[in-house]
Chains A and B, each alone.
Chain A
């Protein structure tokens, strides 16, 4: 039986045990690890991944050399004693009674081991919450236990226990125990399970800026709370900071979402512990804040829209390019499992050639924040605030639109200066034509699809509150219902017809979590920082979304379709 692994340790990729040694300011530092692996033959290279929260990393970074000492199976007691030492024990070598000999470069190597290697650091890169060093072997010394069996991760299993486990595995008892356990507690994802076992102690200062990035939420208002919750869900993977124009709000968020507050945004910008900023401010001040953050060397996740004017958006994108920092735009729907599943269906030609897409969202809305009622601060109304999400989804599916038209239905909300309803139509070259109908002053059934994609072979319906896409296709030509309609007299057929199937409907299921992608958005941003890859929705995409929205406003103003400049 295949059992889902729920922690990283279940993968069994941790292999041989070794003790890492380096010469630090406090003398010889030592660290146990099971993450060594060779990564090159000519020259001989070895890689290790220690936890950067431990002082050994600072020692390696300072010395440029480290030792890897492979321990023998018979040293199981030594490895067990190592676990009992506190992280900051000043003389681990002395407590463990280890014999050490230094190389000519001063790197400490253990005498009592299978083999001791001295390595010169060639590269050091942070991946996730650990730091990976690639070292070139410069010294290779056999230890006093050369030729003995290797100490495996977890230590040797006592023979009787091994026999019991073997009987359980081969008789199926182990499978039954696992099934019972899974029934009591259904297995979650591997990351979720691993997170439960990773200690959440605060990191040592100055050792883990990228491995455990510090994210500062700028803007502790209503929507900032959604980001704050997603940041809290990251647990020990990040350090959390909060800044607001109102210091009490930042302090309140710091208390509720487990972080530290800055009294001013400027203090957060100047603090090197802040690796990145999540900016959720009123539309009119976002771009300028993002530009300052990027120029201060911070990575930025910027709420949509990227700006309310094209020039301001271009300045933010330029700041990211010039600073070499990551600029991501909070288009979380792009990471929704529903949007991704629909994209896959489009790519795999499930619907044939797509002709029409209808996006509809309507519901009464009274903005909680006063700035949202002001057109000058919003940069418009419902289209720039909500419509930009749908523009982004459509662009991710069909590419760039070449023509845009828009019109405003009757304005019903007098408090709201921007448009409270809009119909925008986007043409994607020779591809589909899409309509986006939005209203903050109307009501429609919550059961109606938000997005319907219509193609020559069927249609797909998407609603962000259910975990499946509805795929509708015509019935096959030989379906029994066609024959029933053919054989029955018209008068009977017309009465029976409502009860006969008219199409085939199937569900395309997606995982029932994070349907709007807000957790995925933070995950993606952190992954991008840690790994150096581009984010799912980079700043340039946010700028293109804004270009389409502004073209729609121009079209509504002029009353004619407006071409969109290609990027």
Chain B
């Protein structure tokens, strides 16, 4: 895939290094996937995680409408996939279709990606508006690891930057 002309501010301006994943969502017949690096664990019991999403994005619209989202953690080797899903808007391009139909739809309407390192399906239990993002707190309802990839390290933003520098 062609490399982006301009680096995303999520790669250059974020306060710190963090893991890279894909947030999937679906509502009203629309499905979407976007690259995210603003996510982390929030609680052990209940099992909660948080993900910050820009309010103008299609993913925000779908997560707010459905109350569900999927979070797939990517691993080293998924650099091109992360850049592809993070460089265009789901409003312009059906990104999930471009992934070659590799997703599975959960009973709650959440597209799950079996080819990621891990995939978790989360139910939104709270949301917190922040200056330029909305923080969604999700309770992990189901979660899977792709055993074929489990020896790999999760992909970090610093790995992506190194990949771009090499390219």
Q: Is the CB of B14 within 8 A of A195?
A: no
Could you name 21 residue pairs across A and B whose Cβ atoms are closer than 8 Å?
A1-B147, A3-B147, A8-B47, A11-B49, A11-B143, A13-B39, A13-B73, A13-B118, A15-B19, A36-B16, A36-B40, A37-B52, A39-B52, A41-B132, A127-B42, A152-B156, A169-B151, A174-B150, A198-B44, A527-B46, A527-B125
Query: Other CB < 8 Å A-B pairs besides A40-B132, A174-B150, 15 of them?
Result: A1-B146, A11-B41, A11-B49, A12-B118, A13-B73, A15-B154, A37-B52, A41-B13, A42-B131, A70-B17, A128-B42, A134-B130, A140-B15, A190-B140, A527-B46
Residue B149 is within 8 A (CB to CB) of chain A in the complex: yes
Q: Is the CB of B49 within 8 A of A45?
A: no
Partner of B126, one of A14, A15, A16, A531: A531
Residues of A within 8 A of B147 (CB): 1-3, 169, 174-175, 178
Cα–Cα, bound, A174→B45 (Å):
29
Q: Is the CB of B18 within 8 A of A15?
A: yes
Residue A27 is within 8 A (CB to CB) of chain B in the complex: no
Residue B158 is within 8 A (CB to CB) of chain A in the complex: yes
Residues of A within 8 A of B144 (CB): 2-5
A residues adjacent to B (C-beta < 8 A):
1-5, 8, 10-16, 18, 34-47, 49, 68, 70, 114-115, 117, 123, 125, 127-130, 132, 134, 137, 140, 149-150, 152, 157, 162, 165-166, 168-170, 174-175, 178, 190-191, 194-195, 198, 235-237, 523, 527, 530-533
Residue B102 is within 8 A (CB to CB) of chain A in the complex: no
Q: Is the CB of B46 within 8 A of A2?
A: no
Which residue, B47, B49, B126, has most C-beta atoms of chain A within 10 A? Answer: B47
Q: Is the CB of A45 within 8 A of B44?
A: no
Known: A3-B145, A37-B39. Is A42-B16 also a contact (CB below 8 A)?
no
Known: A68-B16, A152-B156, A166-B151. Is A5-B43 also a contact (CB below 8 A)?
no
Residue B2 is within 8 A (CB to CB) of chain A in the complex: no
Q: Is the CB of A70 within 8 A of B148?
A: no
Q: Is the CB of B40 within 8 A of A47?
A: yes
Known: A40-B132, A43-B131. Is A127-B50 also a contact (CB below 8 A)?
yes
Q: Is the CB of B114 within 8 A of A2?
A: yes
Known: A11-B120, A13-B41, A40-B133. Is A149-B158 also a contact (CB below 8 A)?
yes
Known: A68-B16, A162-B151, A169-B151. Is A38-B143 also a contact (CB below 8 A)?
no
Cα–Cα, bound, A40→B71 (Å):
19
Shortest C-beta distance, B11 to chain A (Å), equals 11
B residues adjacent to A (C-beta < 8 A):
9-10, 13-19, 21, 37-50, 52, 71, 73, 114, 117-120, 125-126, 128, 130-133, 135, 137, 139-140, 142-151, 153-154, 156, 158
Q: Is the CB of A12 within 8 A of B43?
A: no
Cα–Cα, bound, A516→B26 (Å):
31
Residues of A within 8 A of B17 (CB): 15-16, 70, 114, 150
Which residue, B44, B120, B149, has most C-beta atoms of chain A within 10 A? Answer: B44
Shortest C-beta distance, B78 to chain A (Å), equals 13
Residues of B within 8 A of A38 (CB): 14-16, 18, 37-38, 52
Cα–Cα, bound, A423→B120 (Å):
47
Beta-carbon nearest neighbor of A51 in chain B: B44
Beta-carbon nearest neighbor of B162 in chain A: A149
Residues of A within 8 A of B153 (CB): 152, 157
Q: Is the CB of B126 within 8 A of A127?
A: yes
The 10 A-B pairs at the shortest CB distance, nearest first, are namely A128-B43, A15-B19, A37-B40, A5-B143, A165-B151, A39-B52, A38-B14, A2-B144, A44-B15, A237-B45
Q: Is the CB of A132 within 8 A of B50?
A: yes
Known: A35-B40, A47-B135, A531-B126. Is A117-B45 also a contact (CB below 8 A)?
no
Cα–Cα, bound, A4→B144 (Å):
4
Q: Is the CB of A13 within 8 A of B145?
A: no
Shortest C-beta distance, B48 to chain A (Å), equals 5
Beta-carbon nearest neighbor of B46 in chain A: A128
Beta-carbon nearest neighbor of A177 in chain B: B147
Cα–Cα, bound, A157→B142 (Å):
27
Shortest C-beta distance, B76 to chain A (Å), equals 11
Known: A13-B120, A190-B142. Is A130-B43 also a contact (CB below 8 A)?
yes
Q: Is the CB of A236 within 8 A of B45?
A: yes
Residues of B within 8 A of A115 (CB): 16
Partner of B15, one of A13, A117, A174, A178: A117
Cα–Cα, bound, A191→B46 (Å):
6
Partner of A2, one of B16, B41, B145: B145
Cα–Cα, bound, A149→B157 (Å):
11
Beta-carbon nearest neighbor of B139 in chain A: A527
Residues of A within 8 A of B139 (CB): 527
Cα–Cα, bound, A39→B54 (Å):
10
Partner of B44, one of A129, A165, A523: A129
Q: Is the CB of A40 within 8 A of B130?
A: yes
Residues of A within 8 A of B19 (CB): 12-13, 15-16, 37
Q: Is the CB of B130 within 8 A of A10?
A: no
Residues of A within 8 A of B15 (CB): 38, 44-46, 117, 137, 140
Q: Is the CB of B158 within 8 A of A130?
A: no
Partner of B16, one of A46, A127, A166: A46
Residues of B within 8 A of A43 (CB): 131
Shortest C-beta distance, B9 to chain A (Å), equals 5
Shortest C-beta distance, B51 to chain A (Å), equals 8
Q: Is the CB of A39 within 8 A of B16?
A: no
Residues of B within 8 A of A70 (CB): 16-17
Partner of A49, one of B43, B52, B126: B43
Q: Is the CB of A49 within 8 A of B45?
A: no
Q: Is the CB of B142 within 8 A of A16?
A: no
Residues of A within 8 A of B158 (CB): 149-150
Cα–Cα, bound, A4→B141 (Å):
11
Cα–Cα, bound, A237→B39 (Å):
23
Residues of B within 8 A of A39 (CB): 38, 50, 52, 130, 133, 135
Which residue, A46, A157, A178, has most C-beta atoms of chain B within 10 A? Answer: A46
Beta-carbon nearest neighbor of A130 in chain B: B43
Shortest C-beta distance, A403 to chain B (Å), equals 34
Cα–Cα, bound, A40→B119 (Å):
24
Residues of A within 8 A of B156 (CB): 15-16, 150, 152
